[in-house]
Amino acid sequence: MTRSAAVPSGTLVLDSEGLSTCVLRDRTVTAWLALAHADDLRVITSAATLVEVVHPRINRPALEWTLSRLVVEPVTEAVARHAAALLAEAGLHGHTCAIDAMLGATALAAPGPVTVLTSDPEDLAALCGERVTIVKV
């Protein structure tokens, strides 16, 4: 009997803090990633999140290793338009919440159930509502 290919049963999304703490090998976030991989969950982040994470003092080899273990979803025009709509629905402004909105649009487009690890649960809850599970890191 041949085993069928694993099909992801959901998605774990990392915001900038989730990704940063993963690069630092934080035990809590590392445990989340290990569970996600064990449960065949997709682990993703938005390409926009990299803008917040990359800085001169980040451990680049650790960042590259971490990124090799997840999918960096592109910010397409469709994602940007969805992010703008989320901002409008939530009454938030892109000047302060653009990257959160792009991450939210990325999370909402991912196969569910979706869990987002974030340092900003209030804004992501306003943007995504109850369509995703939000966990503060």
List domains and CATH numbers for the chain. 11-136 (3.40.50.1010)
Q: How many CA atoms does the CB half-sphere of 99 hold within 13 Å? A: 17
Is the pLDDT reported for residue 4 higher than 60?
no
Distances (CA, A) of 56 to 2, 50, 52, 53, 59: 48, 13, 12, 10, 9
Per-residue pLDDT band at 8 (split at 50, 70, 90)? low
pTM for the model: 0.91
Average pLDDT over residues 86-107: 95
102, amino acid identity: M
What are residue 115's phi and psi, to 5 degrees? -120, 130
Give CA–CA dist 84/79, Å, rounded.
9
Q: Token pair for residue 13?
A: 């999304």
